[in-house]
Amino acid sequence: MTNLHNLSGAARSAGERLRSATPAPLRRVLSAPIVHSVLIVGVAMLLLSSWGPQSYNGYVLQLICVYVVAALGLNITTGFAGALSLGQGAAFAIGAYLTAVLVDSHGWPFWAVLLLSVVAGLIVGAVTGFPAGRLGVIGLAMMSLGLVLVVGDMLVQFRSVTGGMFGVSGIYPRWWFGAETVDSLWVVPWVIAVITGLSYWLHARYRTSRLGQATVAVRDEPIGASSRGISGYLTKVAAFAVGSGLAALGGGLFSFLSGYISPDAFTPNLSILFLVMVVLGGSGSRWGPIVGTVLLVVIPLQLDDYPHVNTIVYGLVLIVLMRLRPRGIFSRSAAPAPQGLRELLATPPVELPLARTVPPSSEALLELTDVRRSFGGVDALGGVSLTVAPGEIVGLIGPNGSGKTTLLNVVCGYYPPTGGRIMLAGEPIGGLRPTTVAGRGVARTFQTPKTFVGMSIEEHLALAAARSDRDPAQLQACRRAALDLLELGGLDPHDAVAVTRESRTMSHGQLRFLEAAAAISAAPRILLLDEPAAGLSATEIEGFERVVSDVAAAGVAVVIVEHHLDMISRLVDRVVVLDLGTVLWSGPADQLHDVESVRTAYMGIV
């Protein structure tokens, strides 16, 4: 087991060294999806021309391409969005049958019928995925299983259309409606190859788009995603839709490849086959679906002489994979996101330390009035009132169980208050969803950093979208602060290869700095920090304090929950002490140690 770890670790560092060694422009070209797509088409057609499209090898190659299209789609649903779909075979079947029936009975041209198959797949996917908001992983998986059973039924039942158990034959390409079928044997192979290349390109671009980044963020850490204003629901529906669309497209291509289809080809086992392809190759990776498909088409063909062994091997592969290497062959989930750092690095340097350009305003930005929150009859917050002004740093302290984190959670919208009012810049935010609250300029870090394990540093930064109405000086200061935090955490923003490392490989301290940098780079109006110093060394804490000061000096309001009283007394303008859900005391930090009630409650010194 450790050997597998060491091997993949060695492979990773070798990959990194190789990437560092190649010059940047060449690296960009080599990793561009369009280049890979053209390569795929080129290689496929080259092989086909030497083997011949009607040869056995040619058929296998085209079958691989067709399955790759469906596998790429499933990778979007299950890999990128983390939604286990057992229905990929159903969408494949729908595409296959739609194509077959329209071509055979109504003489549709290939381009129109494939397009319609995609649309049908999109609709089916959207329908399967639309309950995603209420269903967990298991629920969605079971829904997709139900879909497989229903579609399987329908294929047999609608005999008049689908030909029942006899299937449909006569699936040949045409250029136009009702025209003669094309003679050339090269049309179908070309169509298959080109569509495979296009699908690869779509799959890669989906991942690097904002939708794709949001999808992966929600998969890895839904709470962290919502704290950045990213809502999970739409990403899942979109992933299901696109995934099924590609499956249906693959099904359509399959019809043309085979010339004849019947329900036998679309058993639930097909869905499972697609799943194994994706999981074996590496769920969520860029090349995984292709490698998985090739392995799971070629190898079982060698075992064709031994009945039953094929299928048993699929099953065993799944079981063994889950125990030994659940992430599959290509375990890299992060995708390029150069725009993440580009804007940050372009920010001109600012004089440090910043002079207080914006004096702490007297008008409150965040105002809590008698906020209550109870859980099952127990008051976690029993009426808390406090205000925070722009540019002010407020420290929130108190013993364990005093309600500090609950307060942050209520402000951010994870729990609606059971009483009282919360106002942000004069507007009530109590009871709003976390994504909405985040969208209004509230940024937050958590006690355990909620970073995204499958995303790289640059992706984390790309996720943060700065508000358009920010004061440019403030925006600049925040961006500089974010860069400083990255450097403090040992995550050199100038090292183009290091910033592509997945956050999975980073230490706890580094994740703290990454989370904070990402939160600040969005130039929030108010920053809530939940025990940011825990686990950091004295020098790291010092650096953190500097950055927080700079950010506040630029006009951002800061609330910092902490146990490190020394850090609190150095950094904050005002301290609020919570105990058993209410405010025990509030005042300047230097007076803290003199207050008797605070000493007793907090430090337990009698």
Partner 1 sequence: MKSQLIGSQAAPMGAVLKVEGLRVRYGGVTAVEDLSLTVRPGTCLALLGANGAGKTSTLRGIGGLASATGKVYLDDRRLDNLSASRRAQAGLGHVLEGRHVFKALTVAENLRVAAGRTRRPSDVEPLELLPELKELLNRPAGGLSGGQQQMLAIARAVAGAPRAIMLDEPTNGLSPKLVSRTKEILAGLRDLGFAVLLVEQRLEVAQQLGADVVVLRHGSVAHRLLGTDPELPDLVHATYLS
Partner 2 sequence: MHEFLQSVLVPGLTDGAIYGLVAVAFATLFSTTGVINFAHGQFVMVLPMAVLVAVGAGLPVWLAFVVALLVLAAIALVVEWAAIRPFVQSGQSVSWLLSTLGVSVVLAEVLAIPYGGESRNFKYGVSSHRLDMGGVGVSPAQIASIAALLVVGGLLTLFYRKTRLGLELRAIADDLDGAEAIGISRARASRIAMLLAALVAAVTGVLVASTQPVTPSLGLSYTFYGFVATAMGGMGNIGGAMLGGLVVGLATQAAGVYVGSLVVNVAVFVLLLAVYLVRPHGFFGAAPVRDV
Q: Interface residues with partner 1 (CB under 8 A)?
A: 378, 399-401, 505-508, 531, 534-535, 537-538, 563-566, 603-606
Contacting partner 2 (CB under 8 A), which of 2, 25, 134, 264?
A: 134
Q: Under the criterion CB under 8 A, does residue 314 sit at the interface with partner 2?
A: yes
> Which partner in partner 1, partner 2, none is near 324 (CB below 5 to 8 A by kind)?
none
3-state DSSP assignment of residue 262: coil
Yes or no: say if 531 and 560 are a contact pair by the CB < 8 Å rule: no
Nearer to partner 1, 45 or 560 (CB): 560
> Dmax of the chain from CA atoms?
97
The CA distance from 155 to 159, in Å, is: 7
Q: Under the criterion CB under 8 A, does residue 300 sit at the interface with partner 2?
A: no
Phi-psi region of 401 (alpha: psi -120 to 50; beta: other; left: phi over 0): left
Nearer to partner 1, 220 or 531 (CB): 531
Contacts of partner 2 in 74-93 (CB under 8 A): 82, 84, 86
Taking the complex as a whole, the smallest distance from the CB of residue 580 to partner 1 amounts, in Å, to 8
> Which partner in partner 1, partner 2, none is near 466 (CB below 5 to 8 A by kind)?
none
Give residue for tokens 């605070």: 598
Q: In the 3-class helix/strand/coil scheme, how is 470-488 assigned residue by residue?
A: CCHHHHHHHHHHHHHHHHH
Taking the complex as a whole, the smallest distance from the CB of residue 553 to partner 1 amounts, in Å, to 25
Parallel, antiparallel or unpaired: strands 260-261 and 168-169: antiparallel
Yes or no: say if 169 and 104 are a contact pair by the CB < 8 Å rule: yes
Which residues on adjacent β-strands are paired with residue 169? 260
> Which partner in partner 1, partner 2, none is near 136 (CB below 5 to 8 A by kind)?
partner 2
3-state DSSP assignment of residue 536: coil
Taking the complex as a whole, the smallest distance from the CB of residue 315 to partner 2 amounts, in Å, to 3
Tell me how far CA of residue 470 lies from CA of 152, 343, 371, 519, 523, in angstroms: 55, 15, 29, 15, 7
Q: Under the criterion CB under 8 A, does residue 352 sit at the interface with partner 2?
A: no
Q: Under the criterion CB under 8 A, does residue 149 sit at the interface with partner 2?
A: yes
Question: How many of the chain's residues bind partner 2 (CB under 8 A)?
Answer: 45
> In the structure encoding, which two tokens stand for residue 447, read together?
């006690």
Nearer to partner 1, 15 or 535 (CB): 535
Q: Under the criterion CB under 8 A, does residue 317 sit at the interface with partner 2?
A: yes
Q: Under the criterion CB under 8 A, does residue 139 sit at the interface with partner 2?
A: yes
> In the structure encoding, which two tokens stand for residue 287, read together?
């090349």
Taking the complex as a whole, the smallest distance from the CB of residue 404 to partner 1 amounts, in Å, to 11
Nearer to partner 1, 26 or 605 (CB): 605
Nearer to partner 2, 114 or 217 (CB): 217
| Amino acid in position 517 | A
3-state DSSP assignment of residue 605: coil
The CA distance from 581 to 76, in Å, is: 45
Tell me how far CA of residue 357 lies from CA of 184, 380, 543, in angstroms: 74, 38, 21
> Which partner in partner 1, partner 2, none is near 507 (CB below 5 to 8 A by kind)?
partner 1
Q: Under the criterion CB under 8 A, does residue 157 sit at the interface with partner 2?
A: yes
Q: Which residues contact 16 (CB under 8 A, 6 or more apart)?
A: 497, 501
> Which partner in partner 1, partner 2, none is near 21 (CB below 5 to 8 A by kind)?
none
| Amino acid in position 96 | A
Q: Contact region for partner 2 (CB under 8 A) — 254-262, 341-349, 408-416, 593-601?
A: 408-416
Nearer to partner 2, 36 or 327 (CB): 327
The CA distance from 129 to 135, in Å, is: 9
Angle, nearest 10°, between helix axes 88-106 and 110-129? 150
| Selection from 479, 540, 484 nearest residue 508 by Cα | 540
> Which partner in partner 1, partner 2, none is near 82 (CB below 5 to 8 A by kind)?
partner 2
Q: In the 3-class helix/strand/coil scheme, how is 329-354 assigned residue by residue?
A: CCCCCCCCCCHHHHHHHHCCCCCCCC
Q: Under the criterion CB under 8 A, does residue 331 sit at the interface with partner 2?
A: no
Contacting partner 2 (CB under 8 A), which of 32, 112, 123, 145?
A: 145
Q: Which residues contact 578 (CB under 8 A, 6 or more apart)?
A: 384, 396, 397, 398, 402, 403, 404, 407, 584
Contacting partner 2 (CB under 8 A), which of 9, 15, 131, 535?
A: 131
> Which partner in partner 1, partner 2, none is near 407 (CB below 5 to 8 A by kind)?
none
The CA distance from 306 to 125, in Å, is: 36
Nearer to partner 1, 330 or 602 (CB): 602
Taking the complex as a whole, the smallest distance from the CB of residue 84 to partner 1 amounts, in Å, to 24
Q: Under the criterion CB under 8 A, does residue 123 sit at the interface with partner 2?
A: no
Nearer to partner 1, 139 or 588 (CB): 588
> Which partner in partner 2, partner 1, none is near 519 (CB below 5 to 8 A by kind)?
none
Q: Return residues touching partner 2 (CB under 8 A).
A: 82, 84, 86, 131, 134-139, 141-143, 145-147, 149-150, 153-154, 157, 223, 268-269, 272, 275, 279, 308, 311-312, 314-319, 321-323, 326, 375-376, 409, 414-415
